[in-house]
Structure 1
Amino acid sequence: MTPTLLQKLLSEFLGTALLLAVVIGSGIMAEGLAQGNVALALLCNTLATVGGLYILIEVFGPVGGAHFNPAVSLVMTLRGYMPWSLLGLYVVVQLAGAACGAWLTHAMFDVPVWQWATKVRSGPALWLAEGVATAGLLLVILRAPAARVAAMVAAYIGAAYFFTASTSFANPAAAFGRMFSDSFAGIQPASVPAFMLAQVAGALVGWLLHRALGGDRPVTQSAPDIPPANHPRAA
């Protein structure tokens, strides 16, 4: 049975909210347990994100595509696999889900629900890192074997936590949600716009590289439904 529009949007909202809960919550927990060891905290944060992202893609992929990421939704729309009329709706629910995920995490850890991040993440090196991280993410999504997309995306993000200077947000919704959390995973609001621009640019580069490597070309008409990330039509 083809999921309804409401079901697709709900899956994107829930998936993005839970992804932010995993990222922020594991950061809070890791920072508290690591007793000042930043490397250990980052490793714990990474491992939780890898596991959580894999599960979320598998759970929500068959419903709404498991994008959880406006940059991914944009590329899927440019490829012709998602109607332009849905792009705005996807982006709205992803951003809303990201913010709600941050607030939910704060409530679970009994800290102030409403807060602003103070961690500055800015500068050409970090912007380049976000572009590289997002380009690589799109290459993995578009070129991974259909049945292994979830595992490969999760593994790539885990690796990118350590090989990029920015710890690989690679997701405008993640950057948006993390500015509401003054925690290990936070990013100061003033740093967010440049991160988002770098991520969108990186996503477009990733798509163009996919095409240069012999990948698909956009179809002339939008598909009637949004293929999940691990569906052959989306890969």
Structure 2
Amino acid sequence: MTPARLAILGIAVSAGAVAAYLASGSDPAAPPPVQQAAPAIRTVEVLVSAVEIPLGGTVGAKELKWQTWPADGAGQGFITRQAQPTGVEDFTGSIARASMLPGEPVRREKLIKSDTTGVLSALLPAGSRAIAITIDNRGANTAGGFILPNDRVDVIRIYRDDAASKVQGTDVVVSETLLRNIRVLAIGQNIQERNGEKVVVGETATLELDPRQVETVTLAQRQGQLSLSLRSLRDISKTDEQIVKPEDVNLTIVRYGTSSQR
């Protein structure tokens, strides 16, 4: 082999050795990322409705069950198995004060234990009274028959003004809104809508009133006729001043020959 070739071969070997040395001193490859396990979710067993429970329905053991629930999502009003292990037995025989959907957590305020009283008295809040007024089951004085239990209504009194009738020589009939935003407890003996029924069934409407309102309605029934005006769902939480416009309630009343606006 010639000296030139030997020189070239020596240079190549030297370059390879330098490259190998440099490669051996490079940083090691990064290790694959370590996958951390997701934190365990704390759970509790919450008492829920196993089936749909209607308003006024009697709750049995088959209507209730324990269901696993995230502990962070269990509200203060929830009934847990840890706090009340006999929850199913404790609430068996209760009456539902509000309708409940399947899987809905049971709250104490929605169920009431009633061994001796009737359903309607169990549904009444403390301090309230229930009174029934006569209605036309054809819907002539009940918003065309579309008032259902738990709707809100205004009670309108229609009566003959004797004083104005004497002055005018003819019957003068006056109407006035007696009560506003009153809850309907029942229509006839129905305390809830059944089978998608959308019409009034029965000849009475049972209203939730306070003791003073009971006296007012009882007297008004003796003096004239009562009608119910259905309120919008959007108006339930509003005050009457927000709903009634002055120009909508002006009424001319004639008493002893003198006109007045109401």
Same fold? TM cut 0.5 = no
Q: Which has the higher contact order (CA 8 A, sep 6+)?
A: 1
Larger Rg: 2
Structure with the bigger percentage of strand: 2
Superposition TM-score tier, normalisation by shorter sequence: under 0.3
TM-score norm. by structure 1 comes to 0.20
Structure with the bigger percentage of helix: 1
